[in-house]
Every structure is written in structure tokens, then in C-alpha cells.
């Protein structure tokens, strides 16, 4: 006849095995490198896009552009809306196409002012990584 006390070593051993497995799996998960790129904390106009896979970044940026930018800049980036007081620049050529990645990032993140007036609002509810994806997509428009 088994008693509760005779079962403790088996239960204890099982608990220790389970806890050990949990610990090993937890440590393995923490040491796995992240697939997300390291996005610089401080971005200047000369900062280069930190994303490494520009094809994937551009594809993700296309969707973000459609939601956040295309209403004013047009689907093709050639300044679709003529009804605005300040006509948006053509993103496929000229100054924007020549701007450094960081300058485009900062314009998207903080908006653009001309003569002290906001001519392009900043994006909202978009992460820095998503802004870099939009930069990659804007770059693809000029090609």
C-alpha cells in the first residue's frame, strides 16, 4: 500500500525536471537573436536606413505608405492631390529623391514646416522601424 509520503520523491523529481526544462527553454529564448534590426535611438539627417533587407522593408513600407502618405502624395509618389494649399513634393525625383535617408525619416516622423506653417503633418501611431520601412518604399519610388 502506497502512502502519500512514498509518492513525494517521484513528484519532487518530476517537478524538478519540469522546472529545469522550463529554465533551459526560457534561457534559449532569451539568447536567440532578434530578427528586428537595431534602430538608432537618435536619428540625424545623415543617418542611413538601418534595415538590412530593403526588399522586405520596401514591401512593408508600401502598405504603410498607402495608409499614411498616398492621400496627399499619390499612389505613385508624384504628388496626387492638387486641392491642397501646399502642393506635396514629387517623391520620385528632385529634392526628396536626393535627400539622405535620415532627412526623409525626420520629415515623416516630425512633419514638415514651410515658413513656420505645418505643410505635412507628422505620422502618428507608427514605430521608428515602420518609418524606416516607409523610407525604403519612398526610395523605391525614385527607381
Q: Which residues contact 54 (CB under 8 A, 6 or more apart)?
A: 136, 139
What percentage of the chain carries pLDDT values higher than 70? 72
Using a CB cutoff of 8 Å and minimum separation of 24, what contacts does 90-95 make? 91/138, 91/141, 91/142, 92/141, 92/142, 93/142
Of residues 10 and 88, which shows the higher confidence score? 88
Q: How far apart are CA 1 and CA 127, in angstroms?
A: 64
Residue 132: is its pLDDT beyond 70? yes
pTM tops 0.75, yes or no: no
pLDDT reported for residue 50: 97
C-alpha cell at 13: 523529481
Q: How far apart are CA 135 and CA 103, in angstroms?
A: 10
Residue 3 confidence class, pLDDT cut points 50, 70, 90: low
Residue-wise pLDDT for 50-59, tens only, equals 999 999 999 9
Q: How far apart are CA 115 and CA 46, in angstroms?
A: 23
Residue-wise pLDDT for 80-128, tens only, equals 767 777 788 899 988 899 999 999 999 999 999 989 999 999 999 999 9
Amino acid at each position: 500500500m502506497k502512502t502519500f509520503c512514498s509518492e513525494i520523491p517521484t513528484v519532487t523529481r518530476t517537478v524538478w525536471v519540469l522546472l529545469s526544462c522550463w529554465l533551459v527553454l526560457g534561457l534559449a529564448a532569451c539568447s536567440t537573436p532578434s530578427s528586428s534590426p537595431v534602430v538608432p535611438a537618435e536619428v540625424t539627417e545623415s543617418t542611413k536606413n538601418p534595415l538590412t533587407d530593403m526588399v522586405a522593408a520596401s514591401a512593408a513600407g508600401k502598405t504603410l505608405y498607402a495608409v499614411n502618405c498616398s492621400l496627399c502624395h499619390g499612389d505613385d509618389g508624384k504628388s496626387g492631390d492638387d486641392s491642397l494649399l501646399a502642393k506635396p513634393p514629387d517623391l520620385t525625383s528632385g529634392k526628396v529623391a536626393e535627400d539622405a535617408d535620415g532627412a526623409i525619416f525626420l520629415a515623416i516622423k516630425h512633419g514638415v514646416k514651410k515658413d513656420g506653417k505645418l505643410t505635412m503633418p507628422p505620422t502618428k501611431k507608427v514605430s521608428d522601424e515602420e518609418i524606416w520601412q516607409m523610407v525604403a518604399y519612398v526610395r523605391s519610388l525614385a527607381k
